Amino acid sequence: MSHASPPIRRIVTGFDPQGRSVIAADGASPAQKTVPERPGYRITNLWRTKPGDDFGVPDSIVGHQGVLPPHGGTVFRIIEWPAEPQDPEELRRLMDATFRSMYPDAHRDVQQGQHPGMHQTDTVDYALVLEGEVVAIMEQGETVMRQGDVLIQRGTAHSWANRSGKPAKVAFVLVDATPSPR
């Protein structure tokens, strides 16, 4: 069952030619992505930064690919999840389609018995549940997160599950944490 929510409204500020603050953009993000095999799953990339970016850097979110932020940068996104299927083979098929089409840069090494969405990134992620509930799954243990709950994911292998039977929406800020080249 898909959840057709309206697009995420993205409001971006900026400066006019006289240096005064203005609303530079107001509308749906130009970087929304879906997975045809997974109706109701939508990722809305909202903004990204790269090292050295200042306030005047043009919006580059349309060019963003994958899950990872730019090296030394950040990416801000909202993910909407439909309830996940109870059939383990269907769940695996949906996870494989999602990672293949949207997140090929995530490190996946799913062990027997683990959630098929298990992955790891060299990032610190701030996750805030906006609507519904999701389960944050680690290699050892899991916890249910509800509206208003925040998780700080520090480079650990993890997965997300929506076992609630209802849609969920989570905001994420991913901060690159790869070591700087020496």
Q: What is the 3-class SS of 35-97, one letter each residue?
A: CCCCCCCEEEEEEEECCCCCCCCCCCHHHCCCCCCCCCCEEEEEEEECCCCCCHHHHHHHHHH
The first and second tokens of residue 119, run together, are 């992955």
16 assigned to some structural domain: no
User: Which one, of 158, 143, 8, lies nearest residue 80 by Cα?
Assistant: 8
Give mean pLDDT, residues 8-18.
Answer: 96
Q: Is residue 127, in this structure, part of any structural domain at all? A: yes
Report the 10 Å Cβ neighbour count for 112. 4
pTM of the model: 0.92
Mean pLDDT over 64-92 rounds to 95
> In whole angstroms, what is the distance from residue 133 CA to residue 146 CA?
4
- Across residues 75-101, what is the average pLDDT? 95
- Of 174, 89, 81, 176, residue with least CA distance to 131: 81
Per-residue pLDDT tens for 133-169?
Answer: 999 999 999 999 999 999 999 999 999 999 999 999 9
Asked, for residue 85, whether it belongs to a domain, the answer is yes
Q: Name the 3-class secondary structure at 117.
A: coil
Domain that holds residue 36: 30-176
Q: Which residues pair with 10 in a beta bridge?
A: 27
> What single-letter amino acid sits at 45?
N
Establish if 119 belongs to a structural domain.
yes
E strand or H helix that includes residue 101: helix 88-101
The answer to whether residue 140 is domain-embedded is: yes
CATH of the domain at 35: 2.60.120.10
The DSSP secondary-structure symbol of 23 reads E
- Number of domains into which the chain is organized: 1
Tokens encoding 143:
């916890």
pLDDT, tens digit, 9 for 90 and up, residues 129-142: 999 999 999 999 99
